[in-house]
Structure 1
Amino acid sequence: MTFMTPRDDREQTQAGGAPNFDLASLYAERESERFALHAQHLNEMWVRVLKTIGYDVGFVRGAGQYLYDRKGARYLDLLSGWGVFAIGRNHPALREALMSVLGAELPNLVQLDVSVPAALLAERLLSFAPYMEKVFFANSGAEAVEAAIKFARAATGRAGILHCAHSFHGLTYGALSLNGDEIFKKGFGPLLPDTREIPFDDLAALEEALRHRDVAAFFVEPIQGKGVNMPAQDYLAQAAALCRKYGTLFVADEIQTGLGRTGKFFAVEHYGVEPDLLLVAKALSGGHVPVGAVLTRKWIFDKMFDRMDRAVVHGSTFGKNDLAMAAGLATLEVMASEKLVENSAARGERLLACFRAMAERYELVADVRGKGLMIGIEFGEPRSLKLKAAWNLLETVNSGLFCQLISIPLFEQHKVLTQVAGHGNHTIKLLPPLTIDDFDCDWIERSFDKVIAEAHHAPGAVWSLGKTLAGHALKAKLG
């Protein structure tokens, strides 16, 4: 009798003509049905939104900082999947890293073993935060937040969790409980108990909340994603000092701001802060395989995993999978070899200077803020009577609607993809890939200048669009 090894069995099966799955061909075949399929099987309301605002062009390819629609038109992506594509879309080094993992037949997720790729990625991440000693891997930013809540409560023996108004830490239940925007929480209560909200950038409010010594952790984004809200230069350092004074852990949520987004590897570096827990995700994935991570101090980690019988008291089935770890390692290598953190700082400085000059010229531009390639352009009520009347009409129907009068023409006329920085927000946020160059900066500056200039002519095409959007918004409210 001849015994066949697993490899022989697999090779025979493949040689026997098992059909190959070709997603590219299937994509091309069904691409024209994308909206019908989503409306039928997925989120129909999102399909309606895209059609209403004219974003139904059908993207078919992504490369670097660019997207291409079914007609071959090229778009500059200033959204980058909410900051996921820091190294650009479909980077060849990332693709090769993932293919190498699949080709190597590694013993992935044995579970009753330890992962070499996970250890290597942890080692690499900790080199950027030498005050940290341990890493916990998860599948997303929200999962990293959930893990950090558990670490904080286990380490301190306290229940209280603080977060800031206008914060965003994710949409799973623990993370949602730390959300500073009611639209995300409405209808989903009751949420996690012992969570409290305080104003952002308010040290007095923080100390008042901490002084009872019942708070396990203070979760804060160094720069808030919803609105690109900036702290005072000494706020984070003073907040960390207050947390130490009252025995509370300082948790920096760098899920969006981390990995070079703000012109430093971590945004806390701008403020001279060394947090107790530091959360990363988004860009670490390279855009292909979701991954999240909690970086923390050893004493905190050891409070969670304090005995052999508690070695698996918290975990994530796919958290240390080889593809995710390889994506993280490849992403960090690309960022170093292409000097993307430095590029973020340089291009960001140029764009911020340009937008601040626009704020001097255009009365609708109320503020420009940000660091690196995390930039917010806030629009506000104009002074001139014609513009003020048009502005107030939109605001009466739906607060924040004016930003669509900027983002939609940017998309339709200038092939620039961007979006509002939050619900009811008057700020357009830029989160481009960190790979953008001077050509792209020219494109951004020229497009924004043209659209903002046109918005200062009332009545005009932009404000006609506003009336149309206001009509849609009113129908949505009524029905």
Structure 2
Amino acid sequence: MTFSIAELFTQHNTDKFDLHEQHLNNQMVRMLKTIGYDRHYERAVGQYLYDQSGTEYLDLLSGFGVFAIGRNHPTVINALKETLTLELPNLVQLDVSVLSGLLAKELLKTTPENIDKMFFCNSGTEALEAAIKFARYTTKRENIVFCEHGYHGLTMGALSLCGEEIFREGFGPLLPGCKAIPFNDIEALEKALSNNDVAAFIVEPIQGKGVNVPDDNYLPEVERLCKKYGTLFVADEVQTGLGRTGKFWAIDHWNVKPDMICMAKALSGGFVPVGGVAMTQKIMDTVFNRMDRAVVHGSTFGKNNLAMAAGLATLHVMEEEKLVENSLKVGTDIINSLQALSEKYEFLKGVRGKGMMIAIEFQSPKSLRLKAAWAMLEAANKGLFCQMITIPLFKDHHILTQVAGHGMNVIKLLPPLNLTQKDRDHIVNSFDKAIADTHQIPGSIWELGKNLAGHALKSKKSR
């Protein structure tokens, strides 16, 4: 009997919610159905998703930044097909592979000149786990400093550096020696490092939860203070890297040189899990300092041929299609155009970001009627107003977006880097219409708001 994924997908595509309710996370299914996101997607190409009726959706999440080059890019597909048919030796373990060496070489061409070694793993959270271990071993110190509201992954070590309590609650005790400080606060950082007992300061150049952009002097001062106190400067570029912010690495906006760069997400074009840590020669030589320590840290599937081939193809696509340049050009245009809407709408506080990492923030208005409606939503659940934007964007304008974090009045865009001018116009016009509707009280959008508030209050009571 022939085994066919195509037949399985066709046969069971409309069963997916039942399958998840029975065998996986049924709360995810409940959430999708509650907010009306329960679509049956059948196809994905570039920046677009298509449901079973053929409706096209503009995907501004890109799998939380994974599909930076767009979904199902033919160049990466062909690279994977070719790799599968070559019958290459893979994961021999007592060997080193050609493809991982080539991918390391290409990645290191993009990093600051002090970075010249690579370690590969399977995900962003694994990259952070490696960075924690490497920093402790290199410095012979235990403590790690991270930032409030930061996000670095959900395994135990990475979770210990998570600045959002909702992710940490109930999973302790976590890794000892980890301390949170405010983001973009040089004074707090110097105080935390001044005892000369911190192995690493691990920071997102731009925070993913909320898209918080630092002051221009922040990261240069981070680099200076880390050198002063013997602390390793670790840039978590899992989300911000590979062109997301209009530079290949977000650190390039400030011309800083960290000791380690953590990466993942976009690196394989969204096909194969892959992560990595780029680091100085000193760190690599300190951790792997003897032959008997050659395997002191690793990951079974890390450097597998499919991941490495996908990474090489992804870098090729980014260069050939000038996606970093497009990210800067089109992303900046979107930011400026959405920011201009703040002059029209009381609810819109402002727009920030770099490249195609964008935050649209909302606020309590001045008009009494609007202010009362806002307060009603905030009392039910902080940040609920954003759902009155994202749900109509999805239902009426076929744009997929997300709220930037728990309890935030911020919508976050992480689109593929290949957005066109047509996509830009659709985004701006759709936000304009969705925000305008929230200023009409009474109106159908506020019926949605009341329903959302009711669900939120009911959820609070059940807890």
* TM-score bracket for the superposition, by shorter chain length: over 0.9
Q: Does 1:167 align with 2:144?
A: no
CA displacement at 1:70 relative to structure 2: 1.2
Which residue does the alignment assign to 2:293? 310
Q: Does 1:184 align with 2:160?
A: no
Which residue does the alignment assign to 1:16? none
Which residue does the alignment assign to 2:448? 465
Deviation digits for residues 247-273 of structure 1 (CA, Å, limit 9, x no counterpart): 000000000000000000000000111
Q: Does 1:348 align with 2:331?
A: yes
Counterpart Cα distance in 2 of 1:20 and 1:182: 49
Which residue does the alignment assign to 1:55? 37
Counterpart Cα distance in 1 of 2:343 and 2:142: 48
Counterpart Cα distance in 2 of 1:167 and 1:54: 29
Higher deviation after alignment, 225-234 or 452-461: 452-461
Query: Greater CA radius of gyration, 1 or 2?
Result: 1
Counterpart Cα distance in 1 of 2:223 and 2:114: 14
Counterpart Cα distance in 1 of 2:422 and 2:77: 25
CA displacement at 1:131 relative to structure 2: 2.4
Which residue does the alignment assign to 2:3? 21
SS of aligned partner of 1:376: strand
Which residue does the alignment assign to 1:111? 93
Which residue does the alignment assign to 2:226? 243
Counterpart Cα distance in 2 of 1:191 and 1:457: 47
Counterpart Cα distance in 1 of 2:145 and 2:290: 29
Which residue does the alignment assign to 1:127? 109
Counterpart Cα distance in 2 of 1:61 and 1:175: 34
Q: Does 1:66 align with 2:48?
A: yes
Structure 1 residues 2-401: aligned runs within 5 Å: 19-129=1-111, 130-401=113-384
Deviation digits for residues 9-66 of structure 1 (CA, Å, limit 9, x no counterpart): xxxxxxxxxx432111111101111101000000000000000000001111110000
SS of aligned partner of 1:24: helix
Runs (4+) off by over 3 Å: none
Letter paired with 1:86: A
Counterpart Cα distance in 2 of 1:168 and 1:70: 35
Q: Does 1:450 align with 2:441?
A: no
SS of aligned partner of 1:354: helix
TM-score normalised according to structure 2 size: 0.99
Counterpart Cα distance in 2 of 1:404 and 1:78: 15
Deviation digits for residues 253-311 of structure 1 (CA, Å, limit 9, x no counterpart): 00000000000000000011111000110000210101000000010111110111111
Counterpart Cα distance in 1 of 2:196 and 2:439: 52
Deviation digits for residues 443-470 of structure 1 (CA, Å, limit 9, x no counterpart): 1011000000111112211111010011
CA displacement at 1:476 relative to structure 2: 1.3
Counterpart Cα distance in 2 of 1:152 and 1:404: 40
Deviation digits for residues 317-372 of structure 1 (CA, Å, limit 9, x no counterpart): 00000000001000000000000000000001110110110112211111210000
**Identical aligned pairs, as a percentage?**
62
Letter paired with 2:207: Q
Deviation digits for residues 107-138 of structure 1 (CA, Å, limit 9, x no counterpart): 00000100100000000000001321110000
TM-score normalised according to structure 1 size: 0.96
SS of aligned partner of 2:243: coil
SS of aligned partner of 1:325: helix
SS of aligned partner of 1:62: strand
Counterpart Cα distance in 2 of 1:131 and 1:265: 16
Counterpart Cα distance in 1 of 2:62 and 2:263: 16
Letter paired with 1:207: E
Which residue does the alignment assign to 1:9? none
Counterpart Cα distance in 2 of 1:246 and 1:112: 39
Gaps spanning 5+ residues in structure 1: where? 1-18
User: How many residue pairs are counted as aligned between the two chains?
Assistant: 461
Counterpart Cα distance in 1 of 2:213 and 2:356: 14
